[in-house]
Amino acid sequence: MHIEIDEISKQFGSTAALTPVSLNLPSGALVALLGPSGSGKTTLLRILGGLEYPTSGRILFDGQDATGLTVQQRRAGFVFQSYALFRHMTVFENIAYGLRARPRATRPPKAEIARRVQKLLELIQLPQIGARYPNQLSGGQRQRVALARALAIEPRMLLLDEPFGALDAKVRKELRQGLRDIHDETGLTTVFVAHDQEEAMELADLVVVMSMGRIEQIGKPADIRARPASDFVRNFITA
Amino acid sequence: MVRPLLNRSPMPGLGLSMGITVAMLSLVVLLPIGALLWQGASFGLSGMWGVINRERVWKALLLSFRLSFYAALFNLVFGVLLAWVLARYRFPGRRLLDAAVDLPFALPTAVAGIALTALYAPNGFFGAIFKDYGIRIAYTEWGIFIALVFVGLPFVARTVQPVVEELETEVEEASATLGASRLYTLYRVILPALLPAALTGFALSLARAVGEYGSVIFIAGNKPLATEIAPLLIVIQLEEFNYDGAASIGIAMLVISFAMLLVINLIQVWSRRRIGNV
Amino acid sequence: MSDATTLAAPPRPRAFRAATEESPAVRRGLILIAVAGLAILVFAPLIVVFAEALAKGAVAAVKSLQSKDALSAIRLTLLIAAISVPLNAVFGIAAAWFITKFDFRGKAFLITLIDLPFSVSPVVAGLCIVFMFGANSLAGGWLVAQGFPIVFALPGIVLATVFVTFPFVARELIPVMIEQGRAEEEAALTLGASGWRVFRTVTLPNIRWALLYGVLLCNARAMGEFGAVAVVSGKIRGQTATMPITIEMQYNEYLSVAAFSLAAVLTLLALVTLLLKTILEIRHADEIAATRRH
Ligand SMILES: Nc1ncnc2c1ncn2[C@@H]1O[C@H](COP(=O)(O)OP(=O)(O)OP(=O)(O)O)[C@@H](O)[C@H]1O
Ligand SMILES: [Mg+2]
């Protein structure tokens, strides 16, 4: 799905988390939001997912105004920074949650739900862990379960807030490739927040560098490396 | 830019939860309190002052406040001790003691009232012992004091206990490595850390005691000018259909409650500023 | 295992004491004071209730509980708890949701208002209800004319009970819900769940023990409330006399066994409450608010 962000701004009391930003994300792209802490990455992602209302501006999905759509209507697969797995539910129940929450008319039958959950568990290469609870999983496993849960609703896009933030270096590398594979397989427009410039540069098709609520530069990793648009970007990507 | 009254949010249930909260708060608490103030206002300030400024009322208010203060003071000391013992020591029966601290919360005040009276009346178990020494407990200020200690017992212990549990023993160890004796560590390191919680518990205990009625009236004897507490005066005014009189004393007590609530909040603001977070 | 003796750690010096411990004598002394204090202040009144109830034998106690007054008091008290505790639970859940899931100005003030009944004397609480709904008031006069009296009747007692127990459930839920944050609810929303479904399947399972805890405390207080009910009930025998009010009437009529038997029933209820509370605290400590104040 093609996502267009049109002059979106967000004000929290007296802090401007986003001064008007505009952004065009082509269908099927894997996009990294990169920037220092407090630059507004999470805010932008949450506005895309419908978890936060913009103070002004519009969001277009495939050319249609989506600003007024509720969270539920957006159908954005959202992976939270700390995963937000339901701790009182098993992995299976976590992944099945979105399907079971559908209205009766569109809810798949029980057997179909089980089949789809199993398929997702295989996709994340953890076919055996359906009966476990989140606190019985490692950090990397939790992250993959969160991804599977987001994918279960057949989302129109995938939004991930620092998906590798809480993991150690080795696991990060593995999961990075995992995200790339899943992206390529599903073809979903994917936006992820990255703290780490190497991660963004290596994984993304398109990198959006942000600072203080503004977009400093948008471009392919190679272009940004070769031609940083400002001193800030130069310093940030060489840091 | 001014902060908006309410940040818009996609969280569901705003209208419903706000509606129930505001409606019930208004109907059950705010409007009735308003009705009391309205009654007082239509009686007039000078009228209310006329009711309060009588020896019997002053004596009752002072008695309530004085004995509540002593009882809260007792509970401050005993409550900190209880919190320390329950949080730090492991001994058989600790769970039982821990549960017992909460009994005054769970036991109806009228039950506590008649039980304490039965214990401390001259022919009661404790009362008889004191009688041998010529001391009367029930139907004197001592009886009121004991009832107020009972109802206020859990407050200090329960506010201080979690703080003791979260005290980092490293700080105490640091103090010891610096050569401080246990006693010195106690009053320079431990007690200051417990102080805000202890004061909060003290104020809560005091507030509860000043308004207490059920457990006191049985043991107090209720002699005018001697052992008559302020809440009882309200009940007496009501029984005589003297609504203005009841409203006047009620408002006086409400003002005392508000003042104490303010003090509790100030303690919490102060301690938050000092220690970071309570 | 012959070398076990040679490898054994050097004996711990007998006088060794961790830097964070008091000497055994001091410990024993403090424990003794705590036990003695609670024995005198708490256990003794507890025993007296049962001793006085059984002063003329178990038969007399049971018989007094079967009197018309006692039975009607028990029925009334159960009815009042059955109405006011659910009201309070609904309020507590709504208030905790409003306060923890939304950002608005004046939140601290709202919490203070919810806490207000803790520091208002129950007698004053009852007085407020009388002035709001009594026959002499505007609202009360109209309601009496409609044949729906509040004061000296069941609705007034319920209102007074809800007033004095007002903060109980909300107070338990708010810290727990703050600690748990909003992320799980947000995740459920992005997965397409409706608001009601989010509450039922995500929030409620996470707060159920804290909710039960609050309801338990609320119930104990609701059944035992005396001061506020004394003012609004009119103490009409067989009609508006709750268990605590009946205890007072019987005690003042020197019906000691009857009064203490009824008191023993309420005491048993308090003990069951404490037992359940202790179990909850042991088994679900993480889900129950750590800092408590009532
Ligand atoms: N709910 C909120 N209330 C008030 N201010 C907020 C809120 N959420 C974010 N902010 C502010 O908005 C700005 C942008 O925050 P945001 O979380 O989008 O940053 P970020 O780029 O994701 O940072 P990080 O890399 O640390 O996660 C910050 O100044 C932050 O303090
Ligand atoms: Mg962020």
Count of CB atoms situated within 10 Å of the CB of A69: 15
Q: Shortest CA distance to C233 belongs to which of C138, C95, C122, C147? A: C122
Which pLDDT band holds residue B273 (cuts at 50, 70, 90)? confident
Q: Are C132 and B31 in contact (CB under 8 A)?
A: yes
Query: Taking the CA atoms of chain C, what radius of gyration do you get in angstroms?
Result: 25
Contacts of C176 (CB under 8 A, 6+ apart): C206, C207, C210, C287, C288, C289
User: What confidence score (pLDDT) does residue C135 get?
Assistant: 80
Q: How far is CA C137 from CA B11, B169, B241, C133, C234, in A?
A: 41, 59, 14, 6, 16
- Residue whose structure tokens are 């003791």: B164
Beta partners for residue A215, in sequence order:
A210
Asked whether residue C21 carries a pLDDT value surpassing 50, the answer given is: yes
Q: Chain B to chain C, count of Cβ pairs less than 8 Å apart? A: 307
Q: Is A12 in the pocket of ligand 1 (CB under 6 A)?
A: yes
d(CA A149, CA A95): 4
**Chain A: residue nearest C193 by CA?**
A101
The strand ranges marked E within chain B are none
Torsion region of B135: left, alpha or beta (phi above 0 gives left; psi -120 to 50 gives alpha): beta
Picking from C214, A54, C125, the residue whose alpha carbon sits closest to that of residue B246 is C125
Percent of chain C scoring above 70 in pLDDT: 91
A102, A103, A104, A110 alpha-carbon torsion, rounded to 10°: 10
**Residue C205's pLDDT is what?**
93
The neighbouring-strand residues paired with B262 are: none
In chain A, residues 24-83 whose CB comes closer than 8 Å to chain C: 49-51, 71-72, 74-78, 80, 82
**From CA A186, how far away is CA A27, in angstroms rounded?**
12
- Domain spans of chain B, in order of start: 45-277
Give the model confidence (pLDDT) of A26-67 as tens digits. 999 999 999 999 999 999 999 999 888 899 999 999 999 999
- On chain B, the residues whose CB falls within 8 A of the CB of A13 are 1, 3-4
- Minimal Cβ distance to B8: which of A14, A53, A71: A53
Name which of C19, C136, C189 is nearest B173 (Cβ-Cβ): C19
User: Shortest CA distance to A167 belongs to which of A198, A140, A135?
Assistant: A140
Mean pLDDT over B150-170 rounds to 89
pLDDT of residue B6: 76
For residue A147, pLDDT beyond 50: yes
Contact of C131 with B38, CB cutoff 8 Å: yes
Q: What is the whole-number distance in angstroms between the Cα of residue A46 and the centre of ligand 2?
A: 10
Chain B nearest-CA distance from A58, in A, is: 16
Q: How far apart are CA B233 and CA B222, in angstroms?
A: 10
Measured between CA atoms, the residue of chain A closest to residue C184 is A84
CATH fold label, B45-277? MetI-like fold (1.10.3720)
Q: Determine contact, residues B142/B130, Cβ cutoff 8 Å.
A: no
Check: CB of residue A8 under 8 Å from CB of residue A29: no
Distance from CA of A153 to the nearest CA of C (A): 6
Q: Which residues contact residue C190 at a Cβ distance below 8 angstroms, ignoring those fewer than 6 apart? A: A49, A50, A51, A71, A72, A74, A76, A77, A78, A150
B172 contacts: CB under 8 Å, gap ≥ 6: B185, B189, B190, C19, C20
Q: Which residues of A touch B9 (CB under 8 A)?
A: 52-53
**Confidence band, pLDDT 50/70/90 cuts, at residue C289:** low
Sign of CA dihedral C127, C130, C132, C137: negative
User: With contact defined as beta carbons under 8 Å apart, do A81 and A165 qualify?
Assistant: yes
CA pseudo-torsion sign C120, C124, C126, C129: negative
Nearest CA in chain C to A48: C190
- In this prediction, residue B3 carries a pLDDT of 60
SS3 label, residue B57: helix
Is residue A141 a contact partner of residue A95, using CB atoms and an 8 Å limit? Answer: no
Contact A44, A8 (CB under 8 A): yes
Which of B 182-241 lie inside 8 A of C, CB atoms?
182, 200-201, 204, 207-208, 210-214, 218, 231, 234-235, 238
Choose the residue to mutate in C102, C103, C182 for probing ligand 1, maximizing ligand atoms within 8 Å of C-beta.
C103
Mean pLDDT, rounded, for C70-99: 96
- Chains with 3+ CB–CB pairs under 8 A to B are A, C
Q: Extract the runs of DSSP E, i.e. beta strands, from C103-251.
A: none
Residue whose C-alpha is closest to residue A85's, from A28, A31, A147: A147
Does residue B275 carry a pLDDT above 80? no
B231 contact residues in C (CB cutoff 8 A): 121-124, 227
- What pLDDT does residue C2 have? 44
- Give the pLDDT score at C144: 85
CB B256 within 8 A of CB B42: no
Instruction: Name the E strands within chain C.
Output: none
Q: Which of A21, A33, A39 to mutate to test the pocket of ligand 1 (most atoms within 8 A of CB)?
A: A39
Long-range contacts of A111-117 (CB under 8 A, 24+ apart): A116/A152, A117/A92, A117/A152
| pLDDT(B240) > 70 | yes
Tokens representing A231? 């001193």
- Give the lowest-confidence range in B121-125, C74-78, C88-92, C197-201: B121-125
Q: DSSP string covering B61-108, please?
A: HHHHHHHHHHHHHHHHHHHHHHHHHHHH---TTHHHHHHHHTHHHHS-
Distance CA A86, CA B23 (A): 32
The closest CB to that of C205, out of A80, A84, A88, belongs to A88
For residue C223, what are its two tokens? 């059944």
State the nearest Cα–Cα gap between B193 and chain C, in angstroms: 15
The tens digit of pLDDT for each residue in C9-20 reads 555 555 556 666
Amino acid C11: pLDDT: 54
Contact A9, A44 (CB under 8 A): no
Task: Name the closest-CA residue to atom 31, ligand 1.
Answer: A38
What ipTM does the predicted assembly reach?
0.90
Are the beta carbons of C117 and C167 closer than 8 angstroms?
yes
Nearest-angstrom CA–CA distance, C48 and C36: 17
Residue of A14, A51, A52 with shortest CB distance to B1:
A14
Lowest pLDDT segment from A87-91, A183-187, B129-133, C289-293:
C289-293
pLDDT exceeds 90 at position B53: no
Q: Which residues of C touch B29 (CB under 8 A)?
A: 113, 116-117, 163, 166
In tens, the pLDDT along B27-47 reads 999 999 999 999 999 988 888
Q: How far apart are CA A79 and CA A77, in angstroms?
A: 7
Is A162 in contact with A128 (CB distance < 8 Å)?
no
CA C92 to chain centre: 13
Structure tokens at C10: 């050097």
Q: Which chains touch A (3 or more CB pairs under 8 A)?
A: B, C
**Residue C179 is encoded by which pair of tokens?**
């600690």
Q: What does each C-alpha distance from B65 to B111, B145, B248 come to in angstroms?
A: 23, 11, 17
pLDDT of residue B22: 96
Which residue of chain B is at minimal alpha-carbon distance from A16?
B1
* Ligand 1 atom closest to Cα of residue A213: 14
Q: Are strands A76-79 and A30-34 parallel, antiparallel or unpaired?
A: unpaired
Q: Please check whether residue C233 is in contact with residue B219, taking contact to mean a CB–CB distance below 8 angstroms.
A: no
Ligand 1 centroid distance, CA of C96 (Å): 24
Q: Give me the sign of the Cα torsion angle B88, B92, B97, B99.
A: positive
Q: What is the pLDDT of residue C18?
A: 67
Contact C93, C173 (CB under 8 A): yes
Question: Are the beta carbons of B267 and B196 closer than 8 angstroms?
Answer: yes
Dist. CA A88–CA C205, nearest whole Å: 7
Residues A190, A30 contacting (CB under 8 angstroms): yes
How close is the Cα of A137 to the center of ligand 2, in Å? 24
Express the helix, strand and coil content of chain A in percent, nearest 5 each.
40, 25, 35
Question: For B66-118, how does the pLDDT look when each residue is reduced to its tens digit (9 = 90+)?
Answer: 999 999 999 999 999 999 999 999 999 999 999 999 999 999 999 999 999 99
Q: Shortest CA distance to B217 belongs to which of C117, C252, C212, C174?
A: C252
Q: Are A83 and A146 in contact (CB under 8 A)?
A: yes
Residue nearest to atom 14 of ligand 1 (CA): A40
Q: CA triplet C230, C235, C238: central angle to 5 degrees?
A: 135
For ligand 1, say whether the CB of A18 is within 6 Å of any of its atoms: no
Short-list C199, C206, C191, CA closest to A97: C191
**Helices and strands, counts by H and E, chain C:** 16, 0
A22 backbone dihedrals φ, ψ, rounded to 5°: -130, 145
Percent of chain A surpassing pLDDT 70: 100
A39 alpha carbon to ligand 1 midpoint, in Å? 7
Q: For residue B246, what pLDDT is reported?
A: 92
Question: Average per-residue pLDDT in chain C?
Answer: 88
User: What six digits make up the tokens of B59?
Assistant: 């004596």
pLDDT above 60 for C292: no
pLDDT digits (tens, 9 = 90+) for A162-217: 988 878 888 888 888 889 999 999 999 999 998 888 888 989 999 999 999 999 99
Q: From CA C89, how far away is CA C78, in angstroms rounded? A: 16
User: What residues contact residue B81 under an 8 Å CB cut-off, 6+ apart?
Assistant: C30, C33, C34, C37
